[in-house]
Structure 1
Amino acid sequence: MSSTNLQVACVVAFYMCAALVMVFVNKTVMNNEPDLPLVFLLLQLVIAVVLLHVSALASKSVEIPKITLDAAKKLFPVVFVNITGLTFNLLCLRGVEATFFQIARGLVLPLTILCSWMYDPTSGVSKNVITASAIVTGGFFLGVLPNSTIPATSTPSFISLFYGVLSSLFIAVHAVLIKISLPYCQNSTIQLAWWTNAGSALLLLPVVAVTGEISVLQGKIYDSQWNGNTFLYGSLITGVFGFLLCLAGLLSIRVTSPVTHMFSSAARSVLQTIIGVAYFGDLININRATSILVILGGTMFYTWIKSAEAKKQPPADIEAFNGAKTEREAQIKE
């Protein structure tokens, strides 16, 4: 194996591990502490910001942006959409099984295509892209249809599905806002990551106070019967791996292609389903398995289409496509 292939293999494995850890540790904490989702998310964001500052001290390649009122105003939309999407994402995960989480957020791709087209109607949408979007949408509805083989205790509530759709919508809008916001951060994804994490934590703090989760946490701390190890270690692990997932996205831009990312996402989806069944005892039936495969197939078809289109473009456009695609995937945190 050449050094280039080794780099690609390492980055792909790195991304898959980080993404899987995020999903399953988040789910474990939400199963144990369902009444502290926003505090949990706030701790993740704070840890990520701290790690960015530590990285800046250790490496000159990591640059913390200068805080200005003008930049804060321009980046407010992407920060607001980011924290809103993350909140709905966690609330959705709290209410559904880990294996069903992929289905609940299955509309990410169609909504991203729609938002991108609405932002730039002149870019056009090919018939193949529409076909891929229709396949994914069909997979989503196949998965959410009521099924008699799944007991009521394992059937997701309407509100959880609603959170999943809202999460997908805000993720799609966020993908468009990234392109608009990067110029305000000197086209640095590290600086944008700092703004989104720090800004999201700042916006989330008053919401946490209003919802009363700080009082809930205080009550748990003073309760001698409460074992907070899962919450504490879960916060640390997801904070660290959320930061690592950001780095994985940046590394992917340099050493992988959209096609490579497509196959790594496919493998991760299969692993996520297997682990969900084995670790959490999630139920999987023909409908759910078919839904996941259809969503995955439509996503892979879309990635193949965009890769084929990119090969027909000048080199500079191909590089831009690779960067934008991988950045979107990293932000989505599949």
Structure 2
Amino acid sequence: MLSEFLFLSYIRITAVVCLYWLVSIVTVFVNKTLLSSKEIDLDAPIFIVWYQCVVSVLICTSLKGLSVWFPDRIRLPSSAPFSQKVILNVLPLSILFTSMIGFNTLCLKYVGISFYYIGRSLTTVFNVIFTFFILRETVSCKAIACCAVIVTGFWMGVDQESVAGSLSTAGIFYGLLASMSLALYSIYTRKVLPSIGDHIWLLSYYVNIYSSIIFLPVMYFTGDLETFFNYKSIFQLRFWLLMTIGGLCGFSIGYVTSLQIRETSPLTHNVSGTAKACAQTVIATYWYDESKSWLWWLSNFIVLGGSAGYTSVKNKEMQLKYLSSKTIPL
């Protein structure tokens, strides 16, 4: 019985990890198609990410409605997205969320999928910096050394993109802003979640509602609304189908990420995400028939190694902190 239980647990965990890989990689490729393909040919990245926020809100609203009809199967917390308490707590986080997904989208528009991971690889470095200055938490020398490795791999990758003639300054700029926004979003999420009962679904619902509103004036000033209304394929079913698939992927990636963390651990999630990034890079170079130098590949492995090392260091530090906090009975 024990061996059967362990086997089923292994199968379940493997299925969850595979699902995370599949959804994450498909999401990147679908978004890249929407942003850069000549067939779609819509130069309105902010509109695309806004539509995905709207799809996420509609999914959350639908789930909320189904929970009323099927309370035994779907249990969701009560929500009041426009109450004063929620606005004060969640609106600042929503601004960071809007910046994060907006800059992520712009980064993906200007760089290839094979370089996408490198372009956003400084998230760990910014996370360490902001943790020190905002949370006032000390950072170990080992963690700083891992960050130095990541920065080295990042600059090597940028240099190799420049040598190959495929470097996008705008893509690097937006990648840095995306990394900063993601680091800040992760830190402030830890502060905001307790105010809404640690409900991840509720947080996703709120930030997507607010982001859908915040993006409206942004789309006006960037000209994305005008571009969209003059779009030649605005009434084509295939375009809206692909846009909706992108929205479903955007919602799904949040769910499968939480699912993988719950079924495994934060450490395993980080290791899985690092390995997924490696697989995603390999798939992208094959899919788009890209030829890369060995120094370019070395830069990727340096970043992956630094990220994996940082994850291992932080895991050991957390274990030591936990053990030291336990009282030893006399």
> Shorter-chain TM-score category?
0.7 to 0.9
Q: Does residue 85 of the first structure (1) align with residue 100 of the second (2)?
A: yes
> Which residue of 2 is the match for residue 2 of structure 1?
7
Residues 85, 170 of structure 1: 8 Å contact kept: yes
Which of 228, 232, 246 pairs up with 1:238?
246
Greater Cα offset, 290-299 or 48-57: 48-57
Q: Does residue 134 of the first structure (1) align with residue 148 of the second (2)?
A: yes
- Code of the aligned partner of 2:217: P
> In the TM superposition, what is the alpha-carbon distance from 1:214 to its structure 2 partner?
2.1
Identity %: 26
Q: TM-score, normalised by structure 1?
A: 0.86
Q: Distance in 2 between matches of 1:82 and 1:229?
A: 30
Q: Alignment partner of 2:77: what SS?
A: coil
Q: Alignment partner of 1:284: what SS?
A: coil
- Code of the aligned partner of 1:183: P
> Which residue of 1 is the match for residue 75 of structure 2?
61
> In the TM superposition, what is the alpha-carbon distance from 1:25 to its structure 2 partner?
0.7
Residues 103, 143 of structure 1: 8 Å contact kept: yes
Greater Cα offset, 4-13 or 51-60: 51-60
Which of 104, 107, 124 pairs up with 2:138?
124
Q: Distance in 2 between matches of 1:283 and 1:228?
A: 35
Residues 160, 296 of structure 2: 8 Å contact kept: no
> In the TM superposition, what is the alpha-carbon distance from 1:75 to its structure 2 partner?
1.4
Answer with 1 or 2: which has the greater Rg: 2
> In the TM superposition, what is the alpha-carbon distance from 1:252 to its structure 2 partner?
2.3
> In the TM superposition, what is the alpha-carbon distance from 1:145 to its structure 2 partner?
1.4
- Code of the aligned partner of 2:18: A
CA displacement, residues 147-173 of structure 1 (integer Å, 9 cap, x when unaligned): 6751x3xx1221221111111111111
Matches within 5 A, 1:1-334: 2-32=7-37, 33-59=41-67, 60-63=74-77, 65-67=79-81, 68-121=83-136, 123-145=137-159, 150=164, 152=165, 155-220=166-231, 223=232, 228=236, 231-314=239-322
Residues 104, 161 of structure 1: 8 Å contact kept: yes
> In the TM superposition, what is the alpha-carbon distance from 1:272 to its structure 2 partner?
0.8
Corresponding residue pairs, total? 310
Residues 139, 294 of structure 1: 8 Å contact kept: yes
Unaligned ranges ≥5, structure 2: 1-5, 68-73
Q: 1:206 to 1:176 in 2, by over 3 A?
A: same
Residues 100, 288 of structure 1: 8 Å contact kept: no
Q: Distance in 1 between matches of 2:163 and 2:132?
A: 39
Q: 1:257 to 1:148 in 2, by over 3 A?
A: closer
Q: Distance in 2 between matches of 1:273 and 1:236?
A: 25
Unaligned ranges ≥5, structure 1: 319-334
> In the TM superposition, what is the alpha-carbon distance from 1:229 to its structure 2 partner?
5.6
Residues 38, 87 of structure 1: 8 Å contact kept: yes
Q: TM-score, normalised by structure 2?
A: 0.87
Q: Distance in 2 between matches of 1:204 and 1:294?
A: 36
Q: 1:128 to 1:233 in 2, by over 3 A?
A: same
Residues 29, 230 of structure 1: 8 Å contact kept: no
Residues 82, 196 of structure 1: 8 Å contact kept: yes
Q: State the Cα RMSD in Å.
A: 2.2
Q: Distance in 1 between matches of 2:96 and 2:50?
A: 15
> In the TM superposition, what is the alpha-carbon distance from 1:200 to its structure 2 partner?
0.6
